[in-house]
Amino acid sequence: MEWRAAGLCHSDENLRSGERVDPARDPSLYPLLGGHEGAGVVAEVGAGVTTVRPGDRVAASFSPVCGRCRYCASGRGSLCNGNKDFMVRGQLVDGAHRHHLDGEPLFLMAKLGTFSERAVVAERSLLKIDDDVPFEAAALITCGATTGWGSAVERGETRPGDVVVVVGCGGLGTSAVQGARIAGAREIIAVEPLSLRRDGAKRFGATRTVSSIDEARPIVAELTDGQGADRVILTPTVVTPEILHDGLDITGKDSILVVTGMGPLGEVPVPLDIAGLVLFNKQIRGCLFGSMDPRTAVPRLLALYKSGLLDLDGMITRYPLSEINTALADQNAGRNVRGVVTMGG
């Protein structure tokens, strides 16, 4: 594979910084080659490869899709059984090590390692894209944009007229805002402490912006006659127990709270009003890759992008691969919505 563009997702930063790594369990992750959002061109193929050939433009699939297990067969490819070893060292197909640093095998994030110019990846980790799709836009579709959009549309089941609250407006949250807008939400309240991202959320479809859930609370009450939001989407950098509690608190009767952002490492106690959850018929739903199948999600969202309904270009800040440390610093400081490193070509 020749990678041409790679998106920066906080999941990569979690591994780089060790935020979500248990040193006792995961010492084999280092040294690592990060990156699981990406797009590029197939350079060579091995024996038995049938779905791609040299010269094909492809997007990455951070969840390798076998196409045969019960999850794939039922359209839930992001849960494919084939991804059970994608967070250990070695090649997905045969376990061999084909990437090294000073003679030591590298761990590749999601068996992709898109923060590089070239990598060896499995056939089932690639999805063909049309020739007129920019690599940067395709890279965003491979995780962040689809995960956020699907959180609102697929997992959250946003319907026309809904009141939607999106908590955290980086790449995932901004995409959730766009998904809610496309689905016909009446009001979209973006909750984001950083003013740059609040301003961005307005451009992408938020009808109101606030800096905290507490500030959103009276607005939701006013808009819903005190009943609560129809959909609450949690996409902050870290979903703390407090955010989960407060998000559920502003979720209305028979409504859905979608948890997409990752929490602290390990189990954490979460304060929960069980009676309110039961008596108001609320739902809490986890969400991986927007609860979508990579094989159908990528062409579906790229079609929305090409039609002008989904704005990916406006989310992107570009950096050459040589400036990836600057890109990471900007991401961590909230100076971009979604950083994308490019490899030329």
| pLDDT per residue as tens digits for the range 27-67 | 667 888 999 999 999 999 998 899 999 999 999 998 888 88
Q: What's the confidence (pLDDT) of residue 89?
A: 78
Residue written as tokens 């690599």? Answer: 135
pLDDT at residue 26 tops 60: yes
CA 297 to CA 81: how far, in whole Å? 18
| pLDDT per residue as tens digits for the range 319-342 | 999 999 999 999 988 899 999 999
Residue written as tokens 């980790």? Answer: 125
Counting residues of the chain whose pLDDT is more than 90, the rounded percentage is 73
Q: The pTM is what?
A: 0.93
pLDDT at residue 345 tops 60: no
| pLDDT per residue as tens digits for the range 211-241 | 999 999 999 999 999 999 999 999 998 999 9
Structure tokens at 331: 């991401």
Q: What's the confidence (pLDDT) of residue 91?
A: 82
Q: Which domains does the chain have, with CATH numbers?
A: 2-142+311-342 (3.90.180.10), 148-289 (3.40.50.720)
pLDDT band at residue 82 using 50, 70 and 90 as cut-offs: confident
Using an 8 Å Cβ cutoff, are 201 and 190 in contact? yes
Structure tokens at 137: 């836009």
